[in-house]
Amino acid sequence: MQALDHLLSVSADGLTIHHDSQAIHNNVQEWFANAQFTIADNPAWGHNLSPFRFAPQNEDTAVALEISIVKKLSQDVEGLSIQGIRVSWPAIDVMQVVIRHQMGATNLQLSNKEL
């Protein structure tokens, strides 16, 4: 599997291309960086977490976020097989998402502004 860097980073060899586990990690990062309806040519693609921006930071919200992420991320990121997920809040307005998948794990920290 190959994927262009979602930030379109450039090296001396041209655009940065990720392979295998790095490609999956890059695609997951890109999905979290783009809310649904913000990509002009594919408005259905992207996270649907905006309704959770002001939700209480508790276990019930974490479970609802986990379900939402698993359903939508699995549809949008081709080749991703989610094996486990955990949402927590290490600080106020900072959400940590750990996703276990077939190529390892992706660990992200998001602020409420990014939702």
Domain ranges of the chain: 2-114
pLDDT reported for residue 93: 87
Is CATH 3.10.450.40 the classification given to domain 2-114? yes
For residue 112, CA distances in Å to 18, 83, 102 come to 28, 25, 28
How many Cβ atoms are within 10 Å of 78's Cβ, its own excluded? 10
At residue 107, what are phi and psi to the nearest 5 degrees?
-120, 120
- Dist CA 39 CA 99 (whole Å): 23
Indicate whether 111 pLDDT > 80: yes
pLDDT digits (tens, 9 = 90+) for 38-96: 888 889 999 999 999 889 999 999 999 999 999 999 999 888 889 999 999 999 889 99
pLDDT reported for residue 96: 96
